[in-house]
Structure 1
Amino acid sequence: MEIAVASGKGGTGKTFLASNLAIFLERKLGGAVAVDADVEAPDLAIALGGVDEVLSRREVWESAKASIDYGRCTGCLKCYDACMFDAIAVEEAKPRIIEEYCEGCGACRIVCPEKAVEIRETLTGYLSVIKTIGGIYAVMGDLEVGGRNTGHVVYTAREEAKKLAEKLGKNFIVIDSAPGIGCPVVSSLSGAEVLIVVVEPIPQSLQGARRVLEVAKAFRLRSYLVLNKYDLNEGFSERIPGELGLEVLGRIPYDEEVVESYTMMNPIILSNPGGRIGRALEEVFENLIELGGLSRHG
């Protein structure tokens, strides 16, 4: 079973929840493989306690960029006029590809009368399989600087996690999604069965959650709500379930212990399971088992 954790807004606590969920499932329900689907800023390994061993690392070639053969180019600039991404500049009456903007769509190649443009495959990013200090296996996507096609990297990471889970006999895959509702988030949700939406009591977080749920509806996911830092504005927190129409798995209070756990790279569910935050997390996960129909068979 694939469980995605998303928020629609950065900083709500989804990585905190996803990391502790992966550890909980590893200890209680036959194991889990974690996926860091925030390939532009991966940090799940930190929340899981740090990297113990890098088992594999490979390149992902899923991007395309335009390239100009100046031996053929006559400087007609039809490619410049055709580019919808402002990825072509003009220098000394000749076009120059700005690779950071180029989407590899091929419009420039189509309009070039001299066939001076070709679309070449480029490095998108990297895929790493790691084992954390706490014994959790995780697949990490890492986008190349200025890279595009984050959705492809996330898809590749998820497929790698499925193979790893099958090989290791793990029943669950926990996907720590990126913020927002862009390509990496869509790719994160596309194969999941359960979605946990993490919301904090501010309007921006509520609006972000609404947008994520619109995406989730397209994939017919079973969606549940976790209210994080709920006690910062309890009145607003109580409105959120009704606004989103979701069952609440639990409410997690604000506590500096969470910050300390990140600083020390020591997940709370391991370091202090009996504390205020540890108990709140346990309640969330036990409710997920009951409401989401989780079992040792995934």
Structure 2
Amino acid sequence: MAPLPGFSPEGLKECRQACETWLAQDAAARTVDEVAPAGLADLPAAARFAIEAGRLQALHKLPAAQRVKLCSLIDPSQQGEIDGADAELAGLAADLTCLKVKVGRHSVAEDIDKLRLIHDKLPSHVKLRLDANRAWTLEQAEQVCGSIPAQRIDYVEEPLLAGSCYRNWTSHLAVPFAWDETIREYPEADLHTPGLKALVIKPMLTGLARTLAWLETASAAQRQIVLSAAFESNLTLDLYARLCALWQLSGYQGLGTFDAWPVCLIEPLRSQSGHDQKPIISPTELTYLGRWL
């Protein structure tokens, strides 16, 4: 249960209170399958995800946490400096095939310079996913995305200003787009919109049942699902990997956020490489919050 500051409207205290209230309604239940899922929809998203994930793992045998294909991310702290991006690119693994680049934080000219640098530095097989965080007009999106060959861009995530219409996207750009915040704010969004390639879903911000519903809707519309992490611990990242196997998600996932964690909780991170040296905090070392019931 890990609400993401700045994105989740709820905090950890609110989530805990909501869970305590919900669990008290089923205080007589002796086993997890006797705890009714009714009423979960009223819980904050992070609390709802935690309970749904707990029930899923308790009631069903999930696939093991296998290595997932990750879309790497350039360090956001270096987005304003071309030299910084150059150094970051030099340190990326040689087998890099998918790279996420934050754009829209600076001027259109700076974004164009950044993309051209990346285009020149990385092999032609590396696909770029641009994340604009709703920073551009359609014309600005056309300028930036048109600065490098369209085939290098896998998609651009949330390119247009909030409330913008995507109806004319394919008339201006050859690259596809993806929705993230849009589907959380507008659940009725038309997934058949021309140019839409993928839905980027953060289960911690939507809940697990809602994530599965989007997966089914996206599959019917022949749109890709990309799971995106909200800086959760290794335990949840491994759960996401198990869900990728369960749901047969084969594309590059946005789960490469564990660099921010200095330690692993209880066990190592099994679904991603590069974190073998991080210390493991045992259960006895974790802070115990007491029984909730």
TM normalised by structure 1 equals 0.34
Q: Which has the higher strand share?
A: 1
TM normalised by structure 2 equals 0.34
Q: Which has the higher contact order (CA 8 A, sep 6+)?
A: 1
Larger Rg, first or second structure (1 or 2): 1
